[in-house]
Structure 1
Amino acid sequence: MDEAEEEIERLEHIRDDRSMRQHCALKHGIVKEFLAEFLGTFVLVLFGCGSVAQTVLSRNTLGEPLTVHIGFSVGLMMAAYVAGGVSGGHVNPAVSLAMVILGKLKIWKFPFYVIAQFLGAFAGAAAVFGLYYDAFMDFTSGILSVTGINATGHIFASYPARHLSILGGFIDQVVGTGMLVLCILAIIDGGNIGAPKGVEPLAIGLIIMAIGVSMGLNCGYPLNPARDLGPRLFTAVAGWGMEVFRYTAGYWWWIPVAGPMVGGVIAAVIYYLLIELHHHRDEPDKPHEEEEDSLKDKYEMITMS
């Protein structure tokens, strides 16, 4: 009797668990995708900006440029694992726009993806600030600034190196994001070599590592409007003030927003025209071949008669 009662109790528990899942599970796909993009971008910013915070606030005793590259690379990889199976794990408006251009994302979903990405990045920046709040106060003596020896604004958003012009920064972001999107498209392209199923996030993380060690000098390779503008908005309201938008005569803040979007579109067009357009596809050609054979048979019958 004891075993029977235990089995009945176990079955009832399974039934209740399924009922709860059915009750709580989201029915609308776009809501699930929205939440996935939000959480994925949150993970990216938490790991990425967190690695910068640890480096800066420890005055380089617990970090260096390489650890920042690792933080963002692993952050993007984990973000792709978190959101990839639900929304594709774009976590970047430039990537989402490229997918719209190529017909891989419905255009009406694009605004939802972008809003989720910006909110996730904002929340990720807030989490980093909360995690290291005491360290921020100790490092800055309570004065949060964008410039100076104790500047901390660059922990959350990108700022240009002294040698970089506005045009140079825009080109930097177009090229850097273009390479990111181009390589992502190659990784997920079933008609190309691609990456084994489940390994795609690792390969995408390695793209960021490659970009970081080769294109990070000018402005730190933001490559992502949400990852840059979301945390920048957070710093504006958290104590750094509007200086985060007024920095440099050309108002730098728009460069990591516009540049990546342009770079993503250009990369999508280039990859399609140079690679994807030329994939060999047998099935679509078969109807044309059959039609040609039929016309040829009819022509032979006419000429013979």
Structure 2
Amino acid sequence: MAKNSITQNSVVGELSAEFLGTMILILFGNGVVAQVVTSSDKSLGGHDSIAWAWGLGVTLGVYVAARLSGAHLNPAVTIALAAFKGFSWRKVLPYSLAQTAGAFVAALIVRFVYADLINAMDPGHTYKTQGIFSTLPGNGAGPVTIPTAFFDQIVGTAILVFVIFALTTAANNAPLSNLGPVVVGLLVVAIGMAWGANAGYAINPARDFGPRLASFVTGYATAFLDQHGSVYFWLPIVAPIIGGLIGGALFKYMIEGFLSTATGEDITVSEPIENR
């Protein structure tokens, strides 16, 4: 009974960490977009400030959650870890729900804190401010097709997961654990600066769907559609999961499989702590 209680408490702690870590990520991510979109003062930021704040949000969210849960903060990462790194499949759904709930709550906070500015700029709650919370093809303006946006999200998330695996595999000369969150944050900054035009670099189903749902329940009637009226909410869920699996497979079979030969060491990983 005591062992079961300890296990239960451990899982609750992991889910709490995923919830709060993702919440911190979205508070900074949605917050900076809200500031840029609703302000006429260009000194308050633009594309670069958005990219940097998202990256810093990732860094801070990882610092919040890493000790308890490993700080996935992203269902695409969680699924890739289960597929290629021994993470327990039974925890994939609870982790994903906790991440999505954290993103939802954070988006609600941003929505209410910025309500006056949003209402002044966009009283009808249209695509003009929908991008504060969720992504759109071409960021709601560019002539980007659904297939292009889909492929873009696969590529962006594949890069994300591939490099995360590289940064967290000890045999790959990974950065020290206390520096890892900073490097992962810089990775997200780089993805935002290089892969942000086609689909807003959601690269995270929870990051997109949680805030999208929050915007829907607070007045954005077309939250699940793109600017052309097509159902769009599924794309930043499905494409990142596919991309994450591709990125994880590329690292697993094209890098990690050769590390023992390169280092002369056995890189077999023991069962993850969370599975014990």
> TM over 0.5: same fold?
yes
CA shift digits 1:8-38 (9 cap, x unpaired): xxxxxxxxxxxxxxxxx99621110000000
Do the aligned residues in 2 keep the contact of 1:245 with 1:253 (CA within 8 Å)? yes
Distance 1:120 1:283, change over 3 A: closer
Query: Where in structure 2 are the equivalents of 1:15-26 lying within 5 Å?
Result: none
User: Do the aligned partners of 1:53 and 1:155 also contact (CA within 8 Å) in 2?
Assistant: yes
1:245 is aligned to 2:224: yes
Q: Which residue of 1 aligns with 2:24?
A: 43
Give CA-to-partner distance per residue, 1:202-253, whole Å, 9 cap, x none. Answer: 0000001111111111121110000001100111110011x12132354222
Choose the corresponding residue for 1:258, options 234, 238, 243: 238
Q: Paired residue for 1:106, among 88, 92, 96?
A: 88
**TM-score by structure 2 length?**
0.88
Which structure exhibits the higher relative contact order, with contacts defined as CA atoms closer than 8 Å and separated by 6 or more residues? 2
Aligned to 1:177: 157
Per-residue displacement from partner, 1:93-129 (whole Å, max 9, x unpaired)? Answer: 0000010001331110111100000100000100111
Corresponding residue number in structure 2 for 1:187? 167
CA–CA distance in 1 between the matches of 2:265 and 2:156?
A: 35
Task: State the one-letter code of the partner of 2:215.
Answer: T
What's the counterpart of residue 294 of structure 1?
none
Q: Which residue of 2 aligns with 1:152?
A: 129
Quote the residue 1:122 is aligned against: 104
Distance 2:259 2:55 in 1: 30
Q: Which ranges of 4 or more aligned residues in structure 1 deviate by more than 4 Å?
A: 281-285
| Alignment equivalent of 1:213, drawn from 174, 178, 193 | 193
Tell me if structure 1 keeps the 8 A contact 2:22–2:103: yes
Read off the aligned partner of 2:133 and give its amino acid letter.
F
The count of residues paired between Structure 1 and Structure 2 equals 255
Q: Secondary structure at the match of 1:155?
A: coil
Residues 52-90 of structure 1 deviation map (CA, whole Å, 9 limit, x = unaligned) = 000011035211000000110000000000001110101
Report the counterpart of residue 12 of structure 1 in structure 2.
none
* Superposed CA RMSD: 1.7
Q: Show structure 2 runs of 5+ residues with no match.
A: 1-5, 269-276
TM-score when scaled to structure 1?
0.80
Cα distance in 2 for partners of 1:261, 1:165 equals 20
Match of 1:165 in 2: 145
Give 2:147's aligned amino acid: L
Q: 2: distance between equivalents of 1:101 and 1:261? A: 11
Contact 1:26–1:32 (CA<8 Å) still a contact in 2?
Answer: no
Contact 1:166 1:250 in 2 (8 A): no
Query: What is the SS of the residue equivalent to 1:276?
Result: helix
The aligned residue for residue 56 of structure 1 is: 37
- Residue identity matched to 1:263: G
AA aligned opposite 2:153: Q
Percent identity over the alignment? Answer: 35
The structure with the larger Rg is 1
What SS does structure 1 have at the residue aligned with 2:248? helix
Give the AA of the match of 1:53.
A
Matched AA of 2:102: G
- 2:60 pairs, out of 53, 66, 78, with 78
